[in-house]
Amino acid sequence: MTQSQTTDTTPPSPHEIATELSKRVIGQREAIREMSISMSKKLAGLPVGNLLMIGSSGTGKTTLMKAVESFLEKRPNLSLRSTVIRMHANVLGEEAQRGRSGEAILHRLLDRAREQLGPDAPLEDLLAQASRGIVFVDEVDKIRAWVGDQPNTSGIRAQEALLTVMENEAVPLTLPKWAGGDRITVDSSGLLFVCGGAFEGLWDSVFDRVTVGKDRGALKPVTVVEDGEVEEKLIFHLRDWLRNDDLFEYGMSPQFLSRYDAVVLLSDLTVEELERIFLTVPDSGYHMARAYFKSRGLNLLLSKKAVYRIAKEAAREQRLGARALKEVFRRVIRDYEYDPESKVNGPESSVLIDLPDVEAALKLRQRG
Ligand SMILES: Nc1ncnc2c1ncn2[C@@H]1O[C@H](COP(=O)(O)OP(=O)(O)O)[C@@H](O)[C@H]1O
Ligand SMILES: [Mg+2]
């Protein structure tokens, strides 16, 4: 067998997929692994359980979904084995309200299959292709059944809409106009759902449950020695304590939760990971600023210490995850962008930003 035949017919291994995804997603080893295993099985045509991804805002959930999309897009020979769509969970609620429960997902899959197979492909093939697709549902926490003590009607409807298509062997579907508009039923049990959300507040509520709440005392303090001092500390990792009940209390229905085989938790990003995101992600504030300086014939450079300081400042704002990098860097770069030519301070039209410059810019803001 020649090399090209191998790549055409053998589905990629989880390891190959993970290596690719890791180029776009920094850290998040566990989530990348789970995703890669699921994708590898899916591309081999095997049944795969649905995944639920939970991780704070700005930790890479959407980035990971997009990375899978582009992984498949770049390999047309693979994408014919699976059609992928990504949608915002809120859209499902709105569409369910118009009485098209679940149809929205199937219509999008059909549209995507048509893009892949061409407008002349027989409907039968399009339906077959669509019914073994991959559905990414982003911000799934937004369709919780209640917010505070208020019921969230559109969320409840959206969860029901999702349930209609998750592992259902006969989903009623009105075909789109271009496909004739008939009413048929579709077997959607071959779809793979990967849902993701930040579930803001979940961390706190589980922490409360195991410290002061229902399961008070379950989380025991551990003795740690830090800088020669002995201390009692509570070390809490959501992954050790999260139960289905917590998600139920958050507002996800038990039927909905029972459709997932695995819950994957993304980690909060470390300073080191934030540094890598800052330096390597193509649309990071750093690369945007470099492009701007380059357009003016200038070479923008940041010292290692400057980068570390920016990442450290961003890490203080865990709520924003990597999004904090952009916000922190904007504070630093704003003054440079107004009159870049006047900031040249090195050879060959280079503008070097060093640690004291970052410190000064961050301090300025604190006072202002
Ligand atoms: N683990 C990560 N690896 C690479 N980039 C990341 C990561 N986490 C966040 N980012 C960057 O931060 C921004 C927000 O990330 P996103 O994936 O949209 O977060 P969310 O988890 O809220 O969906 C994106 O611009 C992305 O480039
Ligand atoms: Mg997101």
- DSSP string across 281-346: -TTSHHHHHHHHHHHTT-EEEE-HHHHHHHHHHHHT-GGGTTHHHHHHHHHHHHHHHHSGGGG--B
58 Cβ inside 6 Å of ligand 1: yes
Whether 28 and 267 have beta carbons less than 8 Å apart is answered as yes
At 103, give phi and psi (nearest 5°).
-65, -35
Torsional sign, CA 172, 176, 178, 180: positive
196 alpha carbon – ligand 2 mean position (Å): 8
**Separation in Å, CA 251 to CA 47, 149, 210:** 28, 10, 19
- Domain assignments of the chain as residue spans, ordered by start: 3-197, 271-367
Low-confidence stretches of the chain (pLDDT < 50) are 1-6, 368
Which pLDDT score is estimated for 367? 52
Which pLDDT score is estimated for 359? 95
What region does 13 belong to: left with phi over 0, alpha with psi -120 to 50, or beta?
A: beta
- DSSP string across 70-133: HHHHT-HHHHTT--EEEEEHHHHHHHHHTT-TTHHHHHHHHHHHHHHH-TTS-HHHHHHHHTT-
**Fold entry, domain 271-367:** Helicase, Ruva Protein; domain 3 (1.10.8)
281 Cβ inside 6 Å of ligand 1: yes
Helix or strand run (H / E) with residue 223: strand 222-226
Is the domain spanning 3-197 CATH 3.30.479.30? The answer is no
323 Cβ inside 6 Å of ligand 1: yes
Which pLDDT score is estimated for 2? 43
61 alpha carbon – ligand 1 mean position (Å): 7
Q: The whole model's pTM is what?
A: 0.91
Whether 313 and 330 have beta carbons less than 8 Å apart is answered as no
63 Cβ inside 6 Å of ligand 1: yes
Residue 261 exposed, middle or buried by CB count within 10 Å (0-12, 13-18, 19+): exposed
- Residue 33's identity, in one-letter code, is R
CA distance 163 to 149: 23
- Under DSSP, the state recorded for 52 is E
Which pLDDT score is estimated for 234? 85
pLDDT tens sequence across 39-87: 999 999 999 999 999 999 999 999 999 999 999 989 888 877 889 999 9
Which pLDDT score is estimated for 9? 65
26 Cβ inside 6 Å of ligand 1: yes
CA distance 330 to 14: 38
Mutate to test the pocket of ligand 1, among 29, 59, 202 (most ligand atoms within 8 A of CB): 59
CA distance 238 to 264: 11
27 Cβ inside 6 Å of ligand 1: yes
Q: What SS3 class is residue 221?
A: coil
The protein residue whose alpha carbon is closest to atom 18 in ligand 1 is 62
